[in-house]
Amino acid sequence: MAIGSPRETKGHAGARRAGQVTSWTMPPTGDDNSDSGRVPVFGTWRAIYVSVVVANLIVMTLIYLFSRFSF
Amino acid sequence: MSAIDWAVLFVYLIGIVALGYWVGRNNRKIDDFFLAGREMPWWAVGLSVMATQISAITFISTTAQAYTDGMRFLVVYFALPFAMVILCVTLVPFFYRAQVFTAYEYLERRFDLKTRTLTSLCFLLQRGMAVGVTLYAPSIVLASILGLSETTTIFMMAGGTILYVLKGGNRSVIWTDVVQMGIIWFGIFLCLFIAIWNLPDTFSFRDALGLAQANGRLNTISLDTSLETPYTLWAGLIGGLFLMLSYFGCDQSQVQRYLSGSSLKESRLSLLFNAFLKVPMQFLILLTGALVFVFFHFEKPPALFNPVAEARLRQIAPAELGPAEDRYTAAFEARKTKAVAFAEARRQGGEGDGPALVAAQAEFNAARTGVVDVYKKATGDAGYGDNNYIFLTYILNELPKGAVGLVIAVIFAAAMSTLSGEFNSLATASMIDFVRRFRAPGSGSDSGDLMLSRAFTAFWGGFAVLIAMQAGRLGSAIEVVNRFGSYFYGSILGVFMLAILTKRANGTGASLGLFIGMAVVGTVATTTKVHFLWWNVVGAVTVFVVGYLISLATPTKQAAA
């Protein structure tokens, strides 16, 4: 049986053949979802995600005020 | 264009091809060719993601959108940062840990071969035709504006791109994207600066914003709840979220960019980099369009922005054109007078007569429509439209020598950065999801695979050129394929949602769900006036619900003990 990726391991191929749901095909949880090493500037992934969301909310608010401001 | 502008353009073209060729000179295996050896830094991948997303036609039509309608288009990007965070938490770790080449490869591991093959085939069909349009749309505008043939502009854009992608694969794509994105950012600031600089001395930047605002050109956020109203805040936040999740999470042309990161951290950071910059960038592009609108209050714009159409009209219907053009000139002068009075009133402490400006604009629009109608009647070209010529007309007529060539280079850079990513991703899906997947185990070698990957790159590049050159004749067929692409976007996201959000879903449910999802989106698109951003929601939700129900009704293979 041909293997889709040269990096695919025996275990992966086996899982694929069986069409089964294994832990690695499901959403990672906890530490599995983090990468090793410190996130630049923000420190943690949680901090950077929160920063992205907050920054976007601020940008949207500023754009709204820009479009409503009486020039 | 002047000689110095042509020189700037050719320096760019030669330089970018040389750079792409040089950085990609050491490819030995398809890991290098398709994923740049998985060693790219986040900032390079981030710029490449951004460059792949911004095409030439996006650049010139977005400014035109602000010129004609205002800045509402910006809401499409409001959900992009949220989508990036969701992808960083969900799909990106999946793809990265599975060490896949394509997004669809993951679906075989989660579901089965048919789901992978079906989704990859849909991608090849849709993206293969779309890349032809990506090439054709700016080519026809640039040909008309620069006085070249369409074939020449098609080859100028595609020829150089094919050359360096053929040599260096994804490594060349990413490093040339970095330079191209730098040029694009510089071009955005240059255009904005010149748009402000070109305002009359008696007209301040604040006056310009006031005039644009009075005419609705700064309108950004509409709270209208109708599903048929284009670009409402809700369509942007909800429909746009599904669109961005699908484009950045399930479209190989984007997935392949961030799979080239040297670690999961680099891949995530590349997307978050876009999350911070994309909305401000689109805002600046749209603001430039709004300022071009203000500028043309003081400098008479051509009634037809397509110079070829205008020359043709003067030749075939001068008698009919005369009165329509007289009305257009009178409307322009009246509008200019109102604009000057508007600024004068503000200088004296008043607010300016906004309603008078709006009325003058309405008459100006009617007068321009009159000229367009004369053209349509004289030529029989009922579908004539020239919004995509507005920004380039401004560039060619109002920018100083050298800057014109640079901004035209920006348009080329935007086109080439998108084309390069698409050629490379199409070759990847062809090679990985079909050739390597279906050939006999153990056959093939690194050098043979590399050669075949280059052959696929050449094939898809040639295919894009062929489609672009025949696009005028293929018209309706291309529209059908692009429409099919719109049906596909939300639906494929539904397949990935089934993959990661449920344990019970199986390949049969995902595959049948995909077909049914596209059929439902097609029905909504053809029988209702629901705005296209909502189609993504309809597709994703339908596939998820239908796919899950089918999965419940069909047996799932049990995990081996």
Write out pLDDT tens, residues B504-521: 999 999 999 999 999 999
Tens of pLDDT, residues B313-344: 999 988 888 999 999 999 999 999 999 888 88
**Measured between alpha carbons, how far is B234 from B431 in angstroms, rounded to an integer?**
40
Read off the pLDDT of each residue in B170-178 and give the average, rounded to a whole number: 92
Phi, psi of B363 (to 5 degrees): -65, -40
Residue A58 in contact with partner chain B when CB distance is under 8 A: no
| Mutation site for A-interface testing, chosen from B38, B92, B110 by largest number of A Cβ within 10 Å | B110
Cβ separation B283–A33 shorter than 8 A? no
**Measured between alpha carbons, how far is B94 from B76 in angstroms, rounded to an integer?**
26
Q: And the tokens for B466?
A: 């062929």
pLDDT over 70 (residue A7): no
**Measured between alpha carbons, how far is B292 from B313 in angstroms, rounded to an integer?**
25
When pLDDT is cut at 50, 70 and 90, the band that residue A6 belongs to is: very low
Cβ separation A5–B99 shorter than 8 A? yes
Question: What dihedral angle (degrees, nearest 10) is formed by the CA atoms of B42, B47, B53, B54?
Answer: 170
Cβ separation A52–B218 shorter than 8 A? no
**What pTM was estimated for this model as a whole?**
0.87
**Measured between alpha carbons, how far is A38 from A45 in angstroms, rounded to an integer?**
9
Q: And the tokens for B113?
A: 């071969």
Q: What is the pLDDT of residue B246?
A: 92
B403-430 and B56-68 are packed helices; what angle lies between their axes, rounded to 10 degrees? 120
Tens of pLDDT, residues A17-71: 444 444 444 445 444 445 556 787 888 888 999 999 999 999 999 999 998 888 8
Chain B residue numbers touching A40 (CB-CB < 8 A): 269
A45-68 and B80-89 are packed helices; what angle lies between their axes, rounded to 10 degrees? 170
Q: What is the pLDDT of residue B388?
A: 84
Nearest of B236, B237, B219, B371 to residue B309 by alpha carbon: B371
| Mutation site for B-interface testing, chosen from A8, A29, A45, A56 by largest number of B Cβ within 10 Å | A56
Tens of pLDDT, residues B380-421: 888 888 888 888 889 888 888 888 999 899 888 989 989 999
CB contact at 8 A, B303 and B368: yes
Cβ separation B441–A20 shorter than 8 A? no
Chain B residue numbers touching A52 (CB-CB < 8 A): 81, 84-85, 272, 275-276
Phi, psi of B502 (to 5 degrees): -130, 150
Chain B residue numbers touching A55 (CB-CB < 8 A): 81, 276
Nearest of B346, B276, B320 to residue B77 by alpha carbon: B276
Cβ separation B84–A52 shorter than 8 A? yes
Residue B440 buriedness (CB in 10 A; 0-12 / 13-18 / 19+): exposed
| Residue B432: DSSP 8-state | I
The beta strand positions in B140-269, using DSSP E, are none
Chain A residue numbers touching B219 (CB-CB < 8 A): 67
Query: Shortest CB distance from A27 goes to which of B99, B210, B500?
Result: B500
CB contact at 8 A, B489 and B541: no
Nearest of B457, B464, B463, B461 to residue B30 by alpha carbon: B457
CB contact at 8 A, B275 and B81: yes
When pLDDT is cut at 50, 70 and 90, the band that residue B26 belongs to is: confident
B433 sits in which H/E element: none
**Measured between alpha carbons, how far is B428 from B424 in angstroms, rounded to an integer?**
6
Cβ separation B220–A64 shorter than 8 A? yes
**Measured between alpha carbons, how far is B240 from B282 in angstroms, rounded to an integer?**
14
**Measured between alpha carbons, how far is B153 from B440 in angstroms, rounded to an integer?**
42
Tens of pLDDT, residues B33-71: 888 888 889 999 999 999 888 888 777 888 888 999 899
Question: Closest-CA residue in chain B for A37?
Answer: B265
Tens of pLDDT, residues B255-304: 999 899 888 888 999 999 999 999 999 999 999 999 999 999 999 999 99
Residue A11 in contact with partner chain B when CB distance is under 8 A: no
Q: What is the pLDDT of residue A15?
A: 43
Q: What is the pLDDT of residue B514?
A: 93
Cβ separation A63–B213 shorter than 8 A? no
Angle at B495 between CA B489 and CA B496, to 5 degrees: 95
CB contact at 8 A, B91 and B496: yes
Residue A21 in contact with partner chain B when CB distance is under 8 A: yes
Phi, psi of B381 (to 5 degrees): -90, 80
Tell me how close the Cα of B460 comes to any Cα of chain A, in angstroms.
Answer: 21
Task: Give the residue carrying structure tokens 């301040």.
Answer: B204
pLDDT over 60 (residue B90): yes
Please state, in angstroms and as integers, the Cα–Cα distance from residue B155 to each residue in B59, B137, B148, B420, B464, following that order.
20, 13, 11, 14, 11
3-state secondary structure of B387: helix
Cβ separation A2–B82 shorter than 8 A? no
Q: What is the pLDDT of residue B281?
A: 92
Q: What is the pLDDT of residue A21?
A: 46
Residue A24 in contact with partner chain B when CB distance is under 8 A: yes
CB contact at 8 A, B244 and B83: yes
B150-197 and B446-501 are packed helices; what angle lies between their axes, rounded to 10 degrees? 60
Chain B residue numbers touching A60 (CB-CB < 8 A): 78, 279
Please state, in angstroms and as integers, the Cα–Cα distance from residue B30 to each residue in B27, B117, B396, B405, B556, following that order.
8, 20, 43, 37, 34
Chain B residue numbers touching A64 (CB-CB < 8 A): 220-221
B352 sits in which H/E element: none
Compute the residue count for chain A: 71
**Measured between alpha carbons, how far is B50 from B29 in angstroms, rounded to an integer?**
26
